[in-house]
Structure 1
Amino acid sequence: MYRFSYSEILEDAPETGRERERAAFDRALALLNDVEARGLAGAERTAAVGFVQDLWNILIADLLAPENALPQALRDDLVSIGAWTMREAGEVLRSPDRSLAALIEVNTSIRDGLR
């Protein structure tokens, strides 16, 4: 199965790429919000946070790719946000009582920026 990189999708159809990204962030946020609202722990919490980690792993890899056409300053900022998200996700997984609010807030801002 061939997986298109972010830059390939944007090159062919910028709006399609952004729609896919928004959908991925929407899914991540739905999972996080559900876990937070219902006070879920264990597998549900791990799955929600894991989805966010997987999303950012993909995004960071694409942002670091030399063929990524986004401006370097924007790429650097997004990688920085992604690195913070990964650190915070790790903390959330290590501390079951830790709120997901910061992850939700930052990822909501990124998702909203794609509109």
Structure 2
Amino acid sequence: MTYASSQYQKQSGSYLSSREIEVMAFRHVNSLLADARDHQKKTMALAANLKLWSLLSMSVERNDSPLPPVLRDDIIKVGLWSMRYSNAALNASKDLKPLIDVNNDMIEGLSAEPEPSPMTAAAPQAYAGSAPTSSLELVG
């Protein structure tokens, strides 16, 4: 875990998953993009979008990223497109809807239930004879 992410985790609380934090960040940026009615708000919204995609791209480029290589490459490609479009929109009168649409796609993907891994799918069968235990009982 990087220093920045560990500090962010301290501030945000341990009750939110990284996916939930990312969804919140995309929703926040989309609200800024949707409300960008004047030049100052548009500049702030595009700067926030650039920062979000830059941070996301840097995190998936790390060697210790748990994402499969294909997904990492796709996120980097989408991020590069979003950052290029944001930069172009800073200098020209461009519609911000494509950025909002891409961010909504990310929200949808992050909000979806992850597919269980083969190990996770086999776990319920391995413990079929044991009594159900809540995660709180396991931890504390």
Q: Give your verdict on TM over 0.5.
A: yes
Name the CA distance, whole Å, in 1 between partners of 2:46 and 2:104. 14
Name the CA distance, whole Å, in 2 between partners of 1:41 and 1:91. 16
Q: How many percent identity over aligned positions?
A: 32
Name the CA distance, whole Å, in 2 between partners of 1:98 and 1:89. 9
Name the CA distance, whole Å, in 1 between partners of 2:79 and 2:61. 11
Pair 1:62 & 2:63 matched: no
The residue type paired with residue 34 of structure 2 is: N
Name the CA distance, whole Å, in 1 between partners of 2:110 and 2:57. 16
Taking the TM superposition and a 5 Å limit, the aligned residue runs for 1:1-115 are: 2-4=3-5, 16-35=17-36, 40-95=37-92, 97-115=93-111
Name the CA distance, whole Å, in 2 between partners of 1:50 and 1:58. 12
Q: Any stretches of 5+ residues in structure 1 without a counterpart?
A: none
CA deviation map 1:37-77 (0-9, x unaligned):
xxx23211000010000001100110110010100000000
RMSD of Structure 2 on Structure 1 (CA): 1.7
The residue type paired with residue 21 of structure 1 is: E
Moved over 3 A (4+): none
TM-score, normalization by structure 1: 0.83
Larger Rg: 2
TM-score, normalization by structure 2: 0.69
